[in-house]
A and B are shown apart, each in its own frame.
Chain A
Amino acid sequence: QITLKESGPTLVKPTQTVTLTCTVAGLSLSTNGVSVGWIRQPPGKALEWLALIYWDDDKRYSPSLKSRLAITKDTSKNQVVLTMTNMDPVDTATYYCAHRHRAWDAFDIWGQGTMVTVSS
């Protein structure tokens, strides 16, 4: 059974950098074909895809946020880390990590999400 769990600060100040961690269980991030992505959802609003990292360390970013995002993985801890710089109140959202099914090209397993509020 594959599970994902997000963790990180609940409150950050504007202009700060936030680091979010996704801990994956039941699946090795170094296994051929595995990929994990980050998706966010502002309160009452739609989902927005942010970034994705593959088992071979290939990465994809949302074009609109690419300059502010960095996605990495630590295979020894089986974690995927998302860093977002220059946080703004509009970045207030629930941040989800999710496993992307290799064949289906869809996010088939999601974490519970972690809420990040950006406020001074």
Chain B
Amino acid sequence: QSALTQPPSASGSPGQSVTISCTGTSSDVGAYNYVSWYQQHPGKAPKLMIYEVTKRPSGVPDRFSGSKSGNTASLTVSGLQAEDEADYYCSSFAGSNNFELFGGGTKLTVL
């Protein structure tokens, strides 16, 4: 099973909004509402930002939001701040055989 497809990079100025896409197939993203997004700063472990497509764990700012349409999920970061500059990875449950797929990652730059 191939990894989920993300754009390698995205950017925006402070205060702006940016959206990162994550494209899968009807066997993973399109089949389940178990899409997650992780933020990873250099040299650090990933941090869960979004689960079940749209939900935020406690402590994650509401500037981060998720959505899904068909086989493509999206992460939107509103009101960009300098600390949002990081790598972002999507993941999706892919059934009992493939279980979990990650995207290739998107490097978000705050200009």
What residues of chain B lie closer than 8 Å to A37, measured between beta carbons? 100
Instruction: Check B45–A106 contact: CB distance below 8 A.
Output: no
Cβ contacts B59-92/A at 8 Å (1 or 0 each): 0000000000000000000000000000001010
User: A106 touching B48 by the CB < 8 A rule?
Assistant: yes
Inter-chain contacts of B91 with A (CB < 8 A): 47, 49, 106-107
We find that the number of chain A residues with CB closer than 8 angstroms to chain B is 22
Decide if the interface of chain A is mainly helix, strand, loop or mixed.
strand
Complex CA distance for A62 and B3, rounded to whole angstroms: 12
Chain B residues in 8 Å Cβ range of A108? 48, 51, 57
Nearest-neighbor residue (CB-CB) of B97 within chain A: A63
Residue of B nearest to A51 (CB): B99
> Residues of B at under 8 Å CB distance from A?
1, 3, 34, 36, 38, 45-48, 51-52, 55, 57, 89, 91, 93, 96-105
Binding site for B on A (CB under 8 A): 37, 39, 45-49, 52, 60, 62-63, 96, 101, 104-108, 110-113
Identify 25 residue pairs between A and B in the complex whose beta-carbon atoms are under 8 Å apart, listed by A's number.
A39-B46, A46-B104, A47-B38, A47-B46, A48-B3, A49-B100, A49-B102, A60-B99, A62-B99, A63-B97, A96-B46, A101-B51, A104-B34, A104-B36, A104-B51, A104-B55, A105-B93, A106-B48, A107-B36, A107-B46, A107-B48, A108-B48, A108-B51, A110-B45, A110-B47
